[in-house]
Amino acid sequence: MNETLKNTGLFAIVGGLILLTGFMQSWNSAILIINMGLISAIMAIGVNLQWGFAGLFNVGVMGFVALGGLAVVLIAGDYSPEAWSAGGFGIVLALLLGAATVTAAVMISKKMAKGRARTIAMLAVLIGGFVLYRAVFDPNVAAVEAINPAAAGNIGGLGLPVLLAWPAGGLLAAGAAWLIGKTALGLRSDYLAIATLGIAEIIIAVLKNEDWLARGVKNVIGLPRPVPYEIDLQNDPAFVERAAGMGLDPVMASTLYVKLGYSVLFMVVLLVLLWMAQMALKSPWGRMMRAIRDNEVAAEAMGKDVTRRHLQIFVLGSAVCGIAGAMMTTLDGQLTPGTYNPLRFTFLVWVMVIVGGSGNNFGAVLGAMLIWFLWVQVEPLGIWVMELLTSGMAEDSALRDHLLDSAAHMRLLTMGVILLLVLRFSPRGLIPEK
């Protein structure tokens, strides 16, 4: 059996599983799986760029995904002129002051000779800068948060079309990745892992606590959509007529239409990114990356700037994750910082990449669709298995109730088992690197 046939077969199996969901459960949930699966595939491509191409161990995916979500609020959220006049500019000024403080401290540590004078100068700059920053920052934040706190209280967005937020999410994530990469990429792989894990937690903490930015845990809801609203479609006589022509009732037809609209948009983004990743993999640049991954010392001896290349691919991969994050927030129509969980947004993406085949873009996409399907379906499956297992027990048995209640936690267990099995018996994944 040749490779193309096998790979097509694997994709067909996953497609078949999703079709089965459509027939057995509902088309609505099947399309939901596809939509989140496509987004997960983009995240997996981002991680695969970093891990599969360059061997960088980034466990901060969640942070970049969340930054993408933030970009949606900042780009597409309602423009709020009173927030800007009350304190928006002050906040920007404070942030610039903070950045200037850090830059000055870095300059001092680079330019001045080592010694007591340098330490004192750095401390003075850092402490002075911090006090100044808080002095400008705090009153402005209070002013912004005081504006209509029940519904807004944040600086709002630019009111631009939401599709623009997707590349913006990529840019925001890329900027953060550049900062992180500058400091952390020189570290050993284990340290980089811990560093990225920490960064992700910090980004989530900022999103949760800085109410002026995106309302924190009060969530931003009602973000604009790139597709029409169901209710508008239902009120559109032409749409209702067409739906009736296909034998569907208007409510059903409108939800399917909206979801499929998202699917098409996501598919376009995925195909573009997949094409770019494939081109990059085949190009001399891709070969150089793999050479660096396989033997850093040899690549360095050949005159390749390993640190720079690592920074480059770290930024690129994170940007892809940022785009996926922006798309996810667009799909949800809301930004809910409380729901970002590293198990779901970092480690699950890793499972996708490893199961699919690290180093192979198609593998990453396949792994993402398959693992996302399982992630969604293991829960009902687990409940079904538990019902089967407990069918012999008494109706009021405490153990039976406990087992049925706990079935929902089967998914973490299953993901771990799948990851370990793949690592043990097929460490190169379903579609191995060529």
Partner 1 sequence: MDFLNALVALSNFVLVPAIAYGSQLALGALGVTLIYGILRFSNFAHGDTMAFGAMITVLVTWWMQSIGISFGPLPTALLALPFGILGTMLLVLFTDRVVYKFYREQKAKPVILVIVSMGVMFIMNGLVRFVIGPGDQRFADGERFIISARDFKQMTGLREGLAIKTTQGITVVVAVICVVALFWFLNRTRTGKSMRAYSDNEDLALLSGINPERVVMYTWLIVAALAATAGVLYGLDKSFKPFVYFQLLLPIFASAIVGGLGNPLGAIAGGFVIAFSEVTITYAWKKVAKYMLPESLEPSGLAQLLSTDYKFAVSFVILLIVLLFKPTGLFKGKAV
Q: Which is nearer to partner 1, 189 or 391 (CB)?
A: 189
Please check whether residue 35 is in contact with residue 268, taking contact to mean a CB–CB distance below 8 angstroms: no
Secondary structure percentages of the chain, helix, strand, coil, to 5: 80, 0, 20
Window of 162-170, 254-262, 363-371, 403-411 that interacts with partner 1 by CB under 8 A? 403-411
Closest to partner 1 by CB, 197 or 324: 197
Cβ closer to partner 1: 84 or 178? 178
Q: Which of 9, 19, 124, 138 binds partner 1 (CB under 8 A)?
A: 138
Minimum distance from residue 27 beta carbon to partner 1 (Å): 30
Least distance (Å) from partner 1 to the CB of residue 134? 9
Is position 110 an interface residue for partner 1 (rule: CB under 8 A)? no
Q: How many residues interact with partner 1 (rule CB under 8 A)?
A: 43
Q: For residues 381 and 410, which CB has a smaller minimum distance to partner 1 in the complex?
A: 410
How far is CA 147 from its chain centroid? 31
Can you read off the two tokens belonging to residue 322? 């940022």
Nearer to partner 1, 139 or 149 (CB): 139
Closer of 184 and 265 to partner 1 (Cβ)? 184
Which span sits near partner 1 by CB under 8 A: 75-83, 232-240, 244-252, 405-413?
Answer: 405-413
Token pair in block for residue 245: 């022509």
Say which residues have a Cβ less than 8 Å from residue 68's Cβ, sequence separation at least 6. 166, 169, 170, 172, 173, 321, 322, 323, 324, 325, 326, 327, 328, 329
Name the packing angle between helices 284-294 and 306-332 (round to 10°): 110
How far is Cα 75 from Cα 269, in angstroms, rounded to an integer? 19
**For partner 1, the closer CB: 92 or 142:** 142
- 310 binds partner 1, rule: CB under 8 A: no
Indicate whether 424 belongs to the interface with partner 1 (CB under 8 A): yes
In one letter, which amino acid is 313?
I
The only residue of 415, 429, 430, 431 in contact with partner 1, by rule CB under 8 A = 415
Residues in region 315-344 near partner 1 by CB under 8 A: 342-343
| Phi and psi based region of residue 357 (left: phi greater than 0; alpha: psi -120 to 50; beta: remaining) | left
The smaller minimum CB distance to partner 1, of residues 132 and 171, is found at: 132
Distance of closest approach, residue 198 Cβ to partner 1, in angstroms: 4
Shortest reach from residue 8's CB to partner 1, in Å: 28
Pick the closer one to partner 1 by CB: 118 or 242.
118
Q: What is the DSSP string of 170-210?
A: HHHHHHHHHHHHHHHTTS-HHHHHHHHHHHHHHHHHHHHH-
> Can you tell me the distance from the alpha carbon of 371 to that of 352, in angstroms, rounded to the nearest whole number?
6
Give the residues across from 156 on adjacent strands.
79
DSSP 42-64: HHHHHHHIIIIIT------HHHH
71 in contact with partner 1 (CB under 8 A): no
Residue of the chain from 6, 282, 308, 409 that contacts partner 1 (CB under 8 A): 409
Q: For the CB of residue 239, give the shortest distance to partner 1 in the complex, in Å.
A: 43
Q: Who's near 96: CB < 8 A, 6+ residues apart?
A: none
Cβ atoms of 198 and 228 closer than 8 Å: no
Type and span of the H or E element at 378? helix 361-389
Would you give the binding string for partner 1 spanning residues 166-205, x where CB under 8 A is met?
-----------------xx--xxxxx-xxx-xxx-xx--x
Is the sign of the CA dihedral 392, 394, 398, 402 positive or negative?
positive
Of 103 and 183, nearer to partner 1 (C-beta) is 183
Among 273, 369, 419, 430, binds partner 1 (CB under 8 A): 419
416 binds partner 1 (CB under 8 A): yes
**Cα(66)–Cα(177) distance, integer angstroms:** 13
d(CA 99, CA 96): 5
Among 166, 347, 362, 373, binds partner 1 (CB under 8 A): 347
Binding site for partner 1 (CB under 8 A): 55, 57, 138, 183-184, 187-191, 193-195, 197-199, 201-202, 205, 208-209, 342-343, 347, 350-351, 354, 405-406, 409-417, 419-420, 423-424, 427
